[in-house]
Structure 1
Amino acid sequence: MKATAKAHPIQGLVKYHGMRDEELRLPYHDSISVCTAPSHTRTTAAFDPSLEEDVYEIDGEAVEGRGAERIRAVVDHVRELAGVDHRVRFVSENSFRTNIGFGSSSSGFAAAAMALVEAAGLDMTRPEISTVARRGSSSAARAVTGAFSHLRTGLNDEDCRSERIETGLEDDLRVVAGMVPSYKETEAAHEEAAESHMFESRMAHIHGQIAEMRDALRAGDFERTFELAEHDSLSLAATTMTGPAGWVYWQPQTIEIFNAVRELRTEEDVPVYFSVDTGASVYVNTTADHVDRVEEVVADCGVETRRWEVGGPARVLDEDAALF
């Protein structure tokens, strides 16, 4: 009863903010994202009757406190679905730096759900597995189905699950990641989302934005898709910054990258748009023809860069890929 899985993190395009149910992690509204590769999380999970308690390890360190609680929520749900009560050994590794705004919780819980479901011997589709991953992180649901995916809101697992959106943008999209190291705390921002006076304004337009994003993706319209993503990033920031804690994630280099992207777009006619989640690091979205120039400009802002493409769905790996 052991399995290993791999999943790619997501870039939010129309981002969810806040949860109507924190235990089941049911978001207030729909969300759409794209997975970024080759960045990934690899996780091995085993149900072991010889263990007296669960063992969780991420990047070589034991997981305790709130992190362990979130993993346990996924583990317990799989135990319930499979009708087993064995303890679990869980080991996970990330190929990219975490907690700087690049979706490590999405790939982490997607890989966890995929590995746990396989180890438990459950026969589930990816949309069904997305409801398992969602219990750890709502964004992880979209990392399960991969590429461009849409998580629908709802009050149960039948409604609140992820589905993949087919689009012609998968092959041409390139993402230059501008890594601005600044620790961020996403969960706390979600908890106070509805207390911002901007939250109702966001809720009023988000459904139309979801419809526009789906339409742009199905049409393969790069400019419209990533212009919408850029505006959504600003809308999200307005909401987080006006909550009780006044979360301001951006750093000076974040703004510098924003300005550099806009200059490339207006002065050199490069198809390029910025996007940020709840963090200081920046996704810079462009096409394969322009990625060299875009990465050069982002690097000139004094940040470390990574070049990513569209990542596929979470998947089970061969036995020789196991972490233990």
Structure 2
Amino acid sequence: MKATAKAHPIQGLVKYHGMRDSELRYPYHDSISVSTAPARSKTTAAFDSALDDDRLVIDGDEVTGRGRERVLSVVDHVRERAGIDHRVRFESENDFPTNIGFGSSSSGFAAAAVALCEAAGLDLSHPEMSTVARRGSASAARAVTGAFSHLETGVNDEDCRSHRIETDLEDDLRVVAAEVPAFKHTEQAHEEAEASHMFEARLAHIHQQISDMREALRTADFDAAFELAEEDSLSLAATTMTGPAAWVYWQPETLEVFERVRELRNEEGVPVYFSTDTGASVYVNTTAEHVDRVEEAISELVPTRVWEVGGPAQVLPESEALF
């Protein structure tokens, strides 16, 4: 009863914000994202009758507090579905910077869900496993199905699950990840989303954003898709900044990257757009043809790495287990 899995983090394109149910993590509205590779989280999970307590380790550190509660919400759901009561040994590691706006919770909970389901002997499809991962992080549902994925809202697991969107943009997209290491508080921002006077305005237009993004992906219209992602990043920031805690995630380096992206687009005609989730780091989206020029320009400002589109979460061979 042991398995190892990996998943790639996601970049939110039309991002969800706020949850109608904080325990089951049903978001208020649909969301669309793209997974970024080769960045990945890897998790090994083993259910063991000899253990007297759950042992949870992430990046070498024991998981405590709210982090432990979130992981156990996924573990307990798998135990319930599988009809087992064994304790679990759980270890996870990331190979990219975490908690700075690059979606580490998405890949972490996606890898956890797939490893746990496999270790428990559950035979589930990726959309079905996305409902397991969602209990840890709604964005993790989309990391399970991978590539370009759409998480539909709902109030049950039949409706609120992720599905992959097929698009020819998978081969051409390149993401220059611009690292701005500033700690973020995503969960708290979701909790207070409704209190922002901008929240109702966001809900009013988000359905059209989803429809327009799906059409841009269907027709492989790069500029339309990533102009929408850029616009949605600004909308999300407006909502978080006008909540009770007045979260301002962006740093001076974030704004410098925005300005450089606009210079490349407006002065050099490069197809390039910025996008942020709840964090200071920036996804700089461009095409394979222009990625070298874009990375050269952005790396003058902050550390960078280049990512491509990643596939769904997957089970790994036993030789890659973490223990």
- Shorter-chain TM-score tier: over 0.9
Aligned to 1:308: 307
**TM-score, length-scaled by structure 1:** 0.99
Letter in 1 for 2:311: G
Paired residue type of 2:170: E
Tell me which residue corresponds to 1:46. Answer: 46
Map residues 213-252 of structure 1 onto 2, 5 A cutoff: 213-252=213-252
What letter is aligned with 1:173? L
The 5 Å alignment of 1:283-322 reads: 283-301=283-301, 303-322=302-321
Q: How big is the alpha-carbon RMSD for the aligned residues of Structure 1 and Structure 2?
A: 0.3
Query: Among the aligned pairs, what percent are the same residue?
Result: 76
Q: Deviations over 1:56-78 (max 9, x none)?
A: 00001100000000000000000
Using the alignment, how far apart are the partners of 1:135 and 1:218 within structure 2?
A: 29
Aligned to 1:265: 265
Match of 1:196 in 2: 196
Provide structure 1 residue ranges, at least 5 long, that are not aligned to the other structure. Answer: none
What letter matches 2:180 in structure 1?
A: V
| Superposition deviation, residue 203 in structure 1 | 0.1
Q: What is the distance in 1 between the residues matched to 2:47 and 2:203?
A: 41
| Deviations, residues 124-144 of structure 1 (Å, cap 9, x unaligned) | 000000000000000000000
Q: Which residue identity does 2:313 align to in structure 1? A: A
Q: Per the alignment, in what secondary structure is the counterpart of residue 43 of structure 2?
A: strand
Q: Distance in 1 between matches of 2:318 and 2:257?
A: 42
Residue-by-residue CA offset, 1:170-213 (whole Å, 9 max, x unaligned): 00100000000100010000000000000000000000100000
1:257-289 per-residue CA deviation (whole Å, 9 max, x = no partner) reads 000000000000000000000000000000001
How much does 1:300 deviate? 1.1
2:67 counterpart of 1:67:
yes
SS of 2:156 mapped into structure 1: coil
Q: Following TM superposition, by how much is the alpha carbon of 1:44 offset from its aligned partner in structure 2, in angstroms?
A: 0.1
Superposed, which structure 2 residues align to 1:22-171 within 5 Å? 22-171=22-171
Unaligned runs of 5+ in 2: none
- Paired with 1:309 and 1:296, the residues of 2 have a C-alpha distance of 17
Q: Write the distance in 2 (CA, Å) between the matches of 1:232 and 1:27.
A: 16
What CA distance in whole angstroms lies between the structure 1 residues aligned with 2:23 and 2:82?
20
**4+ long deviations beyond 2 Å:** none
Alpha-carbon distance in 1 for matches of 2:195, 2:60: 37
Structure 2 SS opposite 1:243: coil
Deviations 1:151-173 (A, max 9, x none): 00000000000000000000010
Does 1:14 find its partner at 2:19? no
- In the alignment, the residues of structure 2 paired with residue 287 and residue 209 of structure 1 have an alpha-carbon distance, to the nearest angstrom, of 22
**C-alpha offsets along residues 298-323 of structure 1, whole Å, 9 cap, x if unaligned?**
1111x110100000000000010000
Superimposed CA distance per residue, residues 222-276 of structure 1 (whole angstroms, 9 cap, x where no aligned partner) = 0000000000000000000000000000000000000000000000000000000
SS at match of 1:170: helix
How many residues align structurally?
Answer: 323
| In structure 2, distance between residues paired with 1:208 and 1:15 | 13
1:254 maps to what in 2?
Answer: 254
Q: Distance in 2 between matches of 1:185 and 1:90?
A: 24
Q: 1:14 and 1:105 mapped to 2: Cα distance? A: 17
Matching residue's letter, 2:237: A
Secondary structure in structure 1 of the residue aligned to 2:171: coil
Q: Secondary structure at the match of 1:11?
A: strand
Q: TM-score, normalised by structure 2?
A: 1.00
One-letter code aligned to 2:157: D
Counterpart of 1:171 in 2: which secondary structure? helix
